[in-house]
Structure 1
Amino acid sequence: MRAIIFDFFGTLTDPSAELLRKETIQATAAVLGVEPERFWSAMASSFPQRIVGAYGGTRDTLRAVARQCGTDPDDERLDRAVATHHAGAERVRTPRPGVLAILDHLRAEGYLLGLISDCSSELYEAWPETDYASRIDAPVFSWREGHRKPDPRLYATAAARLGVPAAECWFVGDGGSREHHGARRAGMRPVLVTNAAYPGAGGLRTDPDSYLPDHRIDEVDDLIRLLGSSHDNK
């Protein structure tokens, strides 16, 4: 196994930060002049379209959703809303404790590292400035590709960009978006991160996976032990 492909939210990010998602979106609503609960509902219902790029970038997305809520923000208000929304998104993508050191360790061990994320425009736009970017060899974003997990094209794209056959890739994620089912179909070896230390975090996952992988870990740092034991058993 030469490569490891990670899910992003709730896997590389701090699962507890997911609890900030509603608060941060409602802060954007306040800047736009939209009733917060109405805006939150509109953002939630538009999620399947937003993550495949149907609404465009963050500025166009916020304008479109605000209009759905009966408000047409002017350019100055929209500028402030975009800044607020990006700041909120940064809070939600706070790294999981210790995960950056884990990525550094895996790279030092010779693994190629990839990413497949069902995400809207904020992550794609901010990615080069994140602490993750220099550590991930091949990031694949649903917003950019126009497909969402478990679409096999995402897994094939990640493997191709890493230059590794799918059969030589681990896929590590917390189980949203039926991602492990997709990884298995793609020929990868899936690993479930249970997030056992984060009560309630799993309930925030969209379209949870009914397939339960053979390999399960509670924390991402347990992956190092799993990789070692897998190698020893060969």
Structure 2
Amino acid sequence: MRAIIFDFFGTLTDPSAELLRKGAFQATADALGVDRDRFWTAMTTSFPERIVGAYGSTRDTLRTIARQCGTDPGDERLDRAVAVHHAGAEKVRTPRNGALAVLDHLRTHNYRLGLISDCSSELCEAWSGTAYAPRIDAPVFSWREGHRKPDPRLYATAAARLGVTPGECWFVGDGGSREHDGALRVGMRPVLVTNAAYPGVGGLRTDPDTYLPDHRIDEIDDLIRLLGSSHDNG
């Protein structure tokens, strides 16, 4: 196995940070001057379309959602709302304990590292400034690719950008979006991060996997032990 491809939210990020998302959306609603409940409903129901780029950039998305909620914000108000929305998104993507150290460890042992994330525009627009960016060789975002997990094209794209075959990849994720089933179907070796230490977050997974991988770890740093005592892929 020459490469490891990670899910993002709830795998590399702090799973409990997802509980902050509703408050972040409420702050954006306030900045836009729209009703909080209407905004929350519009954002959550539009998730499947937003993550494949149908709503465009964050600025375009917020303008569209605000209009759906009965408000047409001016440019200045929209600018403030975009800034607030990005600040809220940053809180939700806080690295989980040990995740960055695990990525650094794997890189020093010659693993190629990839990412497949079902995400909307916020992550793509902020990616280059995150702590994850210099550690991931090939990030693949549903918003840019126009497909969402478990579409096999995402897995194939990640492997190709890493310069490996799917059969040379581990796929590590918390089990949302039927991601492990997708990984298995293209020949990757799936690893479930159970997040057992984070009660209450399992129900936040979108379209949870029905397939349960043979390989399971409770925490991200358990991946080092799973891979074994020798990591030299050189």
- Specify if TM > 0.5: yes
Alignment of 1:38-117 (within 5 A): 38-117=38-117
> What is the CA deviation profile of residues 96-151 of structure 1, one whole-angstrom value per residue up to 9, with x for unaligned ones?
01111110000001100000000000000000000000000000000000000000
Q: Distance in 2 between matches of 1:199 and 1:167?
A: 33
Q: Secondary structure at the match of 2:199?
A: coil
RMSD after superposition? 0.9
- Residues 213-224 of structure 1: pairs in structure 2 closer than 5 A: 213-224=213-224
In 2, Cα distance between equivalents of 1:68 and 1:197: 38
- Distance (whole Å) between structure 2 residues aligned to residue 58 and residue 213 of structure 1: 35
Q: Does 1:121 align with 2:102?
A: no
Report the number of matched residues.
Answer: 231
Asked whether 1:15 is paired with 2:12, we answer no
Structure 2 unpaired stretches of 5+: none
Q: TM-score, normalised by structure 2?
A: 0.98
Give the secondary-structure state (helix, strand or coil) at the position aligned to 2:216: strand
Report the secondary structure of 2:197's partner residue: coil
- Percent pairwise identity: 83
Q: CA deviation at 1:78?
A: 0.1
Structure 1 alignment gaps of length 5 or more:
none
Paired with 1:178 and 1:95, the residues of 2 have a C-alpha distance of 22
Distance in 1 (alpha carbons) for counterparts of 2:230 and 2:52: 35
Aligned residue in 1 for 2:137: 137
Secondary structure of the residue aligned to 2:171 is: strand
SS of residue paired to 2:228: helix
Structure 1 residue runs of 4+, over 6 Å off?
Answer: none
Residue 173 of structure 1 corresponds to: 173
How far apart, in 2, do the equivalents of 1:138 and 1:85 lie?
A: 26
In the TM superposition, residue 209 of structure 1 has moved relative to its aligned partner by 0.3
1:28-39 maps to which residues of 2 (within 5 A)?
28-39=28-39
SS at match of 1:54: coil
What is the Cα deviation at residue 230 of structure 1?
Answer: 9.3
- State the TM-score, normalized to the length of structure 1: 0.98
Change over 3 Å in CA distance of 1:186–1:229 after alignment to 2: farther
